[in-house]
Amino acid sequence: MSDLKETQISSKRIFSGKLIDLYFDQVELPDGKTSTREWINHPGAVCLIPILSNGDICLIRQFRYGPQEEFIEIPAGTLDDGEDPLNCAKRELEEETGYQANKLTFLTNIHPAIGFSNEKMWMYLAEDLVVTKNNLDHDEFLEPIPTPLNTALKWVWSGKITDVKTVIGILWADRLKHNS
């Protein structure tokens, strides 16, 4: 198997925002030639599969500015600087759904945009939920949508759900349901 690693020659930050930084890098390719790469530095995030007491998944519906559409998603949120992913998962679950989980299980890491970002997401299964109160960020507007798993699966396969973390989360929920 050949080495496919690209080596950074130089890097220039061309934008720095509240959440992300955009870089333009010169790289040496595996064959010794050079090229450029544009990539986004992201702090990481968590996503959750909240299972309600009746077995439904607590999905959310929200508008996403980039694609200018409403999406059906699993709850998720960005890590604060230095924040532990488990603590972020607890915070985001309550903020977005109004539930706390008595049982949070780490499932996997996913990389949702490997072509242009280093973002890494920690996916958790949230079970034994207790109602608290949602506490959305001041610029966050969403609607919880409790959904039977079979309906969520139909939405994945029909293309109604296209958000990658949500597709993966629903497929994990289905796998876990059939393996329990």
The catalytic residue positions are: 140
Write out 62-121 in H/E/C secondary structure: EEECCCCEEEEECCEEECCCCCCHHHHHHHHHHHHHCEEEEEEEEEEEECCCCCCECCCE
d(CA 40, CA 16): 10
Terminal Cα-to-Cα distance of the chain (whole angstroms): 38
CA distances from 107 to 47, 64, 158 (A): 10, 25, 25
Q: Which two tokens stand for residue 168?
A: 């993966």
The phi and psi torsions of 65 (rounded to 5 degrees) equal -65, -45
Q: Tell me how long the chain is.
A: 180
Q: Provide the CA 12 distance to its chain's centre, in angstroms.
A: 27
